[in-house]
Amino acid sequence: MSVHEREDRALRLQRVAELLAEAVTPQEVLDAILTEGVRAAEARAGAIGVLSPDRENIELLAQQGYPGPIMEDWGRFPVSAVLPMSRVVRTGEPLFVSTRRERNELFPELPAQARSGGAMVVLPLAVEGRVFGAMALSFEEEVEFGLERREMKIALARLASQNLARSQLYEEEQALRERMTFLAEASEILSSSLDYHHTLGKLARLAVPGLADWCTIDMAGKNGEIERLAVAHEDPEKVRWASELQERYPPNPDDPHGVPQVLRSGEPEFFPSIPAELLDEAIGDDLELRRIIDELGLRSSISVPLTARGRTFGALTLIAAESHPPFTEADFALATELARRAAVAVDNARLYSEAEKGANAAQALAHVADGVVLLDPDGVIRHWNPAAAAITGVDEELAVGRPVGDVVPSWATLTSHVPLSAPGERGAGPVTVPLVRDGRERWLAISGVDFGEGAVYALQDVTDEYALEKTRSDFVATASHELRTPLAAVYGAVRTLRREDVELSEEHRAAFLDMIESESLRLSKIVGQILLAGQLDADAVELSISECDPVQVASEVIESASVHLPEGILLGLSAEGARSIDCDEAKLKQVLVNLVDNAIKYSPDGGQVTIRLDQNGNGCLIEVADQGLGIPAEEQDRIFEKFYRLDPQQTKGVGGSGLGLYICRELVERMDGQLSVESEPGVGSRFQVALPTRR
Amino acid sequence: MSRGAGAGTRTETRRVLVVDDEQSIRLLCRVNLGASGIDVLEADDGESALELARREQPDLILLDVMMPGLDGWSVARELAEDERTRDIPVVFLTARAEASDRRRGAQLGGVGYLVKPFDPVGIGELVEDVLARIGRGEREELQRGIAAEHEQ
């Protein structure tokens, strides 16, 4: 071989190397080798094949110069085959065949396209001693391969190996980078909002068309049903169509494959190539469905579970159909990672939502007027709302985390009569108990629910209601007393008078008869008051208004009061310039009798009781004055309230129905008058009835 | 008003202290208890009732509840707190007829509860019966009986 020839070969190799240096992707590398490389080797045709991932087959990546559909017919063949590339991959040794005869003897099964022509060279493609494929070169003529020619071909194969490996690494790195970018974008979407319905929808749309043709996300419903949360395809029309399809053919949760199986088992399902029988099984005899499935052209699918804290709540499905190549292990790994991140995000969103619900509940409780107290099984306070703080006078910060007995020392006593009901059960109703706070008695209605992990109590401050109720029950007690006491005297007197075993003295006999008379009158009076108060309430009191002389009425009242007058009481009447008025005479008399009775009753130490009549502008003023106990200023308004009675301690226990002054004011007001009081404790009281002269 | 022997000594004649602000009720008790051979002491308010009870050591107290000043509940409480009077049996004689009132009476140590109106003819017998049962050591049963009794 001439120096010139040698230099020429070196130049040609250098040119291939330069071209390869510019080639980035595997396709560019293959193009460079199969054009410039084949030319540099002075070959007629060339082909490159690589080992399949399982290393059982050789897959042709590209060819140049062979006639006919070689890629279609010989795209994939076993490593074990009696073929040149198979042999080279098996041995790892270059193969140089100089003559056609030798070649056809060695490889009788060689495809027809390769059988014509002359010499043939097949070189292993290897990186770091590991064979990953082979490069074949076919020549027009028979060629004698001398050392230099062989070395040149081996050098070319080494260039091809290195550059193919590099480009593949580059491509893998690119793919990895794309996946990382995709995952980063996905993570960003997932963390953008706690509305996971929304984020999963966005995630599905992100996956198409880069990662798959279709992406769907399904959730397991509460009752085992499957709910499609998102479906994404590049073409919105197809999305609509898929949604309709889902409605017409809802998934059966018991299906042995696909999303139902993934949701049930929590295990992923990966079909690099969807088996036809699987589709047949799913379609059954439904011709319409078959048409649709055929049209979809489903090729490859990945379904991965969305699992958090050991529970599978959904599935993410990727489908390769019309445009996306079948999924690889890398795609599956990516889908798995994507599902993991989505599951964490959904779980977080759900946890947050739960926490938020808790926070919302706490917020709601903050505005509830009832005190709400949550205790754990050890009696430690876990929740103490503002109303509970207000009712007990203990702030939330001082209460939460401490045993309730430390916070409210009387808690055990307070709640000892509160039955704890089970959740949802209708409890016995709240129990009203007193709580002494800052020396004041508060009345609390307490009810409790035991929910297993503690108890929740509702506290209602019913002090005001209780006071009203107490007033009513006091009235019942008072009315009862007022009725029963005279009745006891009458009944007792009669029973005693009729005793035959005892000889009563005349004195006692007379006393019992007097008793029957006076106590009957007292009874009739109190019954009358109770009835009248009822009529006033019902607005059923009829007045008979006529002209009357107030002085005359006052005289009669004084006269009747002077009978049975207690010791030390002096009665007086002063009437100057009083004129006749229009009123109900009987009712006016009733008012004055009551006022005079009160004046006498509340003068236990005696004194002057006077009725004074005077002209009052256009009307008449009738005043009943005493020198008795008097009424504290703060009670002067309240004494006219129904059932209101002065503190027995202050009045030395003078009792009554609590109706007298209420009736008086009501009657006076119905006669267009006014009843008022001026009083000073220890000095006396003046009740004033102002009535118009003429109506 | 009858009087027994001095305080501290027991005579055959029972002495009952009747506490009521109503003169008519006191008269009924006096006449009917007297007919049963029981001597009667009277007080028309709580303060004088306590004073009499301490001084006279009656065998039993008939006690009204709704009275001016110190009411019957307070009188019963003070009687129970004072060692000189804590053993004197108290029978409430009152117009208060509710179950809660009865419970209160029992809590305050009452051994009987009469609701007005009551039959004064049987009151001497009732007093003897209560005292006899207490003599037999049935004081607690009597107390429990108050709360359990239905309104007459």
- Chain B residue at shortest CA distance from A505: B31
Q: State which amino acid sits at residue A618.
A: N
Confirm if B28 and A493 have CB atoms less than 8 A apart.
yes
Inform me whether the pLDDT recorded for B93 exceeds 90: yes
The region of weakest confidence among A136-140, A434-438, A519-523 is A434-438
Q: State which amino acid sits at residue B144.
A: R
Residue range B110-122, pLDDT digits in tens: 999 999 999 999 9
Res. A481 pLDDT band, cuts 50 70 90: confident
Tokens representing residue A596 in the block: 């005079």
pLDDT for res A515: 93
Tokens representing residue A211 in the block: 């990662």
How confident is the model over A450-472, as a mean pLDDT?
80
B117/A484 Cβ within 8 A: yes
B28/A493 Cβ within 8 A: yes
Most B CBs within 10 Å, among A472, A475, A485, to test the B interface:
A485
Q: Look up residue A34 and give its DSSP letter.
A: I
The region of weakest confidence among A134-138, A361-365, A481-485, A556-560 is A361-365
Cis amide prior to A94 (ω within 30 degrees) = no
- Supply the angle between the helices B46-56 and B72-81 in degrees, to the nearest 10: 30
How confident is the model over A568-574, as a mean pLDDT?
92
pLDDT for res A124: 93
Tokens representing residue B7 in the block: 């305080």
Closest CA to A44 of A112, A137, A113: A137
Name the CA radius of gyration of chain A, rounded. Answer: 55
Confirm if A628 and A683 have CB atoms less than 8 A apart.
no
CA distance B8 to chain A (A): 31
Res. A115 pLDDT band, cuts 50 70 90: low
From B66, B116, B120, residue closest to A495, measured CB to CB: B120
The region of weakest confidence among A38-42, A99-103, A198-202, B146-150 is B146-150
Neighbour tally for B15: CB within 10 Å: 20
Distance of alpha carbon B16 from alpha carbon A369, whole angstroms: 54
Inform me whether the pLDDT recorded for A384 exceeds 70: yes
pLDDT for res A245: 78
CA distance B121 to chain A (A): 6
A481/B95 Cβ within 8 A: yes
Inform me whether the pLDDT recorded for A542 exceeds 50: yes
Residue A153: CB partners within 8 Å, gap ≥ 6?
A41, A94, A96, A121, A123, A137, A145
A504/B97 Cβ within 8 A: no
Residue range A297-323, pLDDT digits in tens: 888 899 999 988 788 888 999 998 888
Query: Is B33 at the interface with chain A, CB within 8 A?
Result: no
B117/A487 Cβ within 8 A: yes
CA distance A491 to chain B (A): 7
How confident is the model over A147-175, as a mean pLDDT?
86
Query: Is A504 at the interface with chain B, CB within 8 A?
Result: yes
Residues in chain B within 8 Å Cβ distance of A651: 68
From A485, A489, A652, residue closest to B68, measured CB to CB: A652
Confirm if B143 and B80 have CB atoms less than 8 A apart.
no
Confirm if A503 and A629 have CB atoms less than 8 A apart.
no
Q: For chain A, positions 136-195, list CB contacts with chain B under 8 A.
A: none
Tokens representing residue A600 in the block: 């006498």
CA distance A433 to chain B (A): 14
From B22, B95, B120, residue closest to A480, measured CB to CB: B95
Q: For chain B, positions 59-88, list CB contacts with chain A under 8 A.
A: 66-69, 71
Residue range A19-70, pLDDT digits in tens: 888 888 888 888 888 888 888 888 888 999 998 888 888 998 888 888 877 7
Beta strands in A293-411 (DSSP E): 300-308, 311-320, 371-375, 381-384
- Chain B residue at shortest CA distance from A498: B121
Cross-strand bridge partners of residue A609:
A571
**Cα within 13 Å of Cα(B80), Cβ side:** 14
Most confident of the ranges A73-77, A385-389, A460-464, B59-63:
B59-63
pLDDT for res A302: 93
Percent of chain A with pLDDT over 70: 95
- Chain A residue at shortest CA distance from B45: A653
Cross-strand bridge partners of residue A232:
A215
pLDDT for res B9: 43
Q: Look up residue A395 and give its DSSP letter.
A: -
Query: Is A521 at the interface with chain B, CB within 8 A?
Result: no
Closest CA to A557 of A687, A453, A463, A394: A687
Inform me whether the pLDDT recorded for A575 exceeds 90: no
How confident is the model over A278-305, as a mean pLDDT?
83
Q: Look up residue A37 and give its DSSP letter.
A: I
Distance of alpha carbon A130 from alpha carbon A307, whole angstroms: 40
Query: Is B47 at the interface with chain A, CB within 8 A?
Result: no
Distance of alpha carbon A219 from alpha carbon A228, whole angstroms: 6
H or E element at residue A139: none
B120/A496 Cβ within 8 A: yes
Query: Is A472 at the interface with chain B, CB within 8 A?
Result: no
How confident is the model over A86-110, as a mean pLDDT?
88
pLDDT for res A408: 86
In total, the C-beta contacts within 8 angstroms joining chain A to chain B are 84
Inform me whether the pLDDT recorded for A6 exceeds 90: no
pLDDT for res A654: 52
pLDDT for res A414: 78
Residue range A587-638, pLDDT digits in tens: 999 999 999 998 998 888 889 999 999 887 778 889 999 998 888 888 888 8
A416-450: buried (b, 16+ CB within 10 Å) or exposed (e) per residue? eebebbeeeeebeebbbbebeeeeeebbbbbbbbb
Residues in chain B within 8 Å Cβ distance of A652: 68-69
Residues in chain B within 8 Å Cβ distance of A648: 68-69, 71
Residues in chain A within 8 Å Cβ distance of B101: 477
How confident is the model over A5-25, as a mean pLDDT?
81
Inform me whether the pLDDT recorded for A202 exceeds 90: no
Res. A114 pLDDT band, cuts 50 70 90: low
Q: State which amino acid sits at residue A148.
A: E
From B31, B66, B98, residue closest to A655, measured CB to CB: B66
Most A CBs within 10 Å, among B116, B121, B126, to test the A interface:
B116
CA distance A489 to chain B (A): 6
CA distance A488 to chain B (A): 4
Most confident of the ranges A472-476, A601-605, A679-683:
A679-683
Annotate A413-433 with DSSP letters as a single string. HHHTT-PEEPTTS-----EEE
pLDDT for res B6: 39
How confident is the model over B49-67, as a mean pLDDT?
94
Please, what sign has the CA dihedral across residues A420, A423, A425, A426? positive
A508/B31 Cβ within 8 A: yes
pLDDT for res B10: 47
Neighbour tally for A679: CB within 10 Å: 22
Most B CBs within 10 Å, among A466, A496, A499, to test the B interface:
A496
A515/B27 Cβ within 8 A: yes
| Biggest CA-to-CA distance, chain A | 174
Residues in chain B within 8 Å Cβ distance of A492: 24-25, 28, 117-120
Residue range B11-53, pLDDT digits in tens: 568 999 999 988 999 999 999 999 999 999 999 999 999 999 9
Inform me whether the pLDDT recorded for A428 exceeds 70: no
Q: For chain B, positions 97-136, list CB contacts with chain A under 8 A.
A: 97-98, 101, 115-121
Most A CBs within 10 Å, among B20, B23, B26, B31, to test the A interface:
B31
CA distance B126 to chain A (A): 15
Angle at A537 between CA A531 and CA A541, to 5 degrees: 65
Distances (CA, A) of A651 to A353, A648, A688, B71: 64, 5, 21, 13
A495/B121 Cβ within 8 A: yes
Distances (CA, A) of B9 to B6, B49, B57, B58: 6, 20, 9, 11
Distance of alpha carbon A47 from alpha carbon A516, whole angstroms: 138
- Chain B residue at shortest CA distance from A513: B24
Q: State which amino acid sits at residue A381.
A: I
| Distance of alpha carbon A479 from the chain centroid | 54
- Strand A130-138 with A300-308, pairing: unpaired
- Chain B residue at shortest CA distance from A474: B96
Residues in chain B within 8 Å Cβ distance of A491: 117-119
The region of weakest confidence among A70-84, A208-222, B2-16, B38-52 is B2-16
Inform me whether the pLDDT recorded for A646 exceeds 70: no
pLDDT for res A458: 87
Inform me whether the pLDDT recorded for A507 exceeds 90: yes
Percent of chain B with pLDDT over 70: 89
pLDDT for res B3: 42
Tokens representing residue A452 in the block: 């297993």
Distance of alpha carbon A695 from alpha carbon A465, whole angstroms: 41
Mean pLDDT, chain A, integer: 84
Residues in chain B within 8 Å Cβ distance of A499: 32, 35, 121
Give the residue carrying structure tokens 């020198």. A627
pLDDT for res B124: 94
**Cα within 13 Å of Cα(A231), Cβ side:** 15
| Distance of alpha carbon A353 from the chain centroid | 6
pLDDT for res B128: 95
Closest CA to A574 of A595, A586, A585, A558: A558
B66/A477 Cβ within 8 A: yes
CA distance B75 to chain A (A): 14
Tokens representing residue A299 in the block: 């090729």
How confident is the model over A473-478, as a mean pLDDT?
72
Give the residue carrying structure tokens 């909002």. A193
Confirm if A393 and A407 have CB atoms less than 8 A apart.
no
Closest CA to A393 of A362, A438, A432, A431: A438
State the complex-level ipTM.
0.89
pLDDT for res A422: 78
The region of weakest confidence among A128-132, A156-160, A222-226, A632-636 is A222-226
Distance of alpha carbon B54 from alpha carbon B43, whole angstroms: 13
Name the CA radius of gyration of chain B, rounded. Answer: 14
Residues in chain B within 8 Å Cβ distance of A485: 22, 25, 95, 116
- Chain A residue at shortest CA distance from B26: A489
CA distance A644 to chain B (A): 16
Res. A668 pLDDT band, cuts 50 70 90: very high
